[in-house]
Structure 1
Amino acid sequence: MKSIYILLTKSNTYVSKTIQLATADKYTHISISFHESLQPMYSFARKYIHLPLPAGLRVEPLSQGYFKENDFIPCALYKLDVEDEVYEKAQLMVLQMMDHADIYKFNVIGLLLCKLNIPLKRQHHYFCSEFVSEVLIQSEAISLTKDPSLIRPSDYLNFQELNYIYSGEIRDLVETVKLNYVNV
C-alpha cells in the first residue's frame, strides 16, 4: 500500500473569496502529492503569486511562492491509501501531464459552470478540483458518480476513503511535515 496526499486550502485571494462567497465552502483549493513530505505538490493554480491569471498546471511548494507568502491560510490534509499499482498509475498520469504542462490551461468557464451544476469537459483545461478528481478517477484510486468538472474542493471533506491527518494553518503544517519527515 502507498499513500496519495490531498491538501485543501482556502486562501485570501479574490478568486478564493469569490468562490467562498458563492458556495459557502470551507475550502476553495486542492492540491495532490505523492509523498508524505508534500513535495512536490501539484494543482491547477496561478502562475504568478500576485496575479490570478495566467494559471495552469503547476508545482506548488509549501515553503516557497504563494504558500510561503500566505502561510496563515487555513488548510486540511488528508491521505488516501491505495494499492501500489493505483499509486503508480496516478503518479504517472500527473508526471506525464507535467511533461507537457504548457498545453494545460485553467478551466475558467468550467469553474463558473461547476457552481451551476453544469458539467463541462474541455480538452487540456482543468480547475484544481477537476484535475485532482480526474487523476483519482482515471487511476481508479476512488470511484465517483459525479463528473470531475462538478467536484469542488470541499466535496473531499465527505469522501470516506480519505484519512484525516491535519487541519490548521499552512505555517504549522510546514513545520509538522518538516518534523515528521526529519524523524522518519
Structure 2
Amino acid sequence: MKTIYLLLTKSNSFVSKAIYYMTQDDYTHISISFEESLQPMYSCARKYTYTPLPAGIKNESLLSGFYLKNSSIPCALYRIKVTEDKYNKAKALLNKILEDEGDYKYNLMGLVLCHFELAYRRHHYYFCSEFVSEILAHSQILELPKMPSLMKPSDYLLFEELECLYKGNIHDLVQSRGIS
C-alpha cells in the first residue's frame, strides 16, 4: 500500500477570510502530497507570497514563501492508504498537469459558484479543492459525493477513509514531523 497526504489550512489571507466568511468552515485550503515529508506538496493557489493573483498550479512549501511567513495558521494533516496502481494513476495525472503548468489558471468563478452549489467546470481552470478532488476522483481513490467543482476543503473531513495525523499549526507540524 502507498500513502497520499492531504493538508488542510485556514490562513489570514484576504481570500481565505472571504471563503471563511461565506462558509464558516474550519479549513479554506487543501493541498496534496505523495511524500511523507510533504515535500513537494501541490495545490491551485497564489503564485506569489504577497499577492493572491496570479494563481494557478503551485508547488507549495512549508519551509518557504507563504507558509513560512504564516506558520501560525491552523492546519490538519490527513492520509489515505491506496493501492500502488491508484497511487501511480494519481501521480501520473499530477505529472501530466505539471508538464503544462503554465496553461492552468485559478478558477475564481468556479470558487464563487461552488458556494452556491453550482457546478462550473472550465478546461485548465481549478481552485484548490477542485484540483485535489479531480486527482483523487480520476484515480478512483475516493468516491466523491459531488462533482470536483463542488468540493470544498471541509468536505474532506467527512471521509472515513482519511486518517487524521495532526491538528495544530504549520510551525508545530513542521517541528513534529521533522520537515527540513
Q: TM-score range by the shorter chain?
A: over 0.9
| Residue 145 of structure 1, CA deviation | 3.2
Q: Find the aligned partners of 1:122 and 1:100 in 2 and give their Cα distance.
A: 16
Aligned to 1:55: 55
Deviating 4+ runs (over 2 angstroms): none
Letter matched to residue 152 of structure 1: K
Q: How many residues of Structure 1 are paired with residues of Structure 2 in the alignment? A: 180
3-state SS, counterpart of residue 5 of structure 2: strand
Residue 148 of structure 1 deviates from its aligned partner by 0.5
Counterpart code for 2:149: S
Please name the residue that 1:116 is paired with: 116
| Pairing 1:84–2:99 present | no
TM-superposed CA distance for 1:20, in Å, is: 0.2
Aligned 1:26-65 pairs, distance under 5 A: 26-65=26-65
- Listed as ranges, the gaps of 5+ residues in structure 2 are none
Identity fraction in percent: 52
The match for 2:176 is 176
Alignment of 1:9-158 (within 5 A): 9-158=9-158
Q: Distance in 2 between matches of 1:85 and 1:177?
A: 27
- 1:5 and 1:171 map into 2 onto residues whose CA distance is 18
Amino acid at match of 1:125: Y
| 2:7 is the alignment partner of 1:7 | yes
Residues of 2 paired with 1:145 and 1:173: CA distance? 29
Give 3-state SS (helix, strand or coil) of 2:178's partner: helix
SS of 2:80's partner is strand
User: Which range moves more in the overlay, 91-100 or 110-119?
Assistant: 91-100
Determine the C-alpha separation between the residues in 1 that align with 2:20 and 2:143: 26
Structure 1 position 175, deviation (Å): 1.0
Any idea what SS the aligned residue of 1:132 has?
A: helix
1:99 positional shift: 1.3
Does residue 159 in structure 1 map to residue 152 in structure 2? no
CA RMSD of aligned residues (A): 1.0
Structure 2 residue identity aligned to 1:106: Y
Q: TM-score, normalised by structure 1?
A: 0.96
- Return the offset for 1:135: 0.2
Amino acid in the other structure paired with 2:63: S
Normalised to the residue count of structure 2, the TM-score between the two structures is 0.98
Gaps of 5+ in 1: none
For the residues of structure 1 that align with 2:144 and 2:22, how far apart are their CA atoms?
24
Deviation at 1:65, TM superposition (A): 0.5
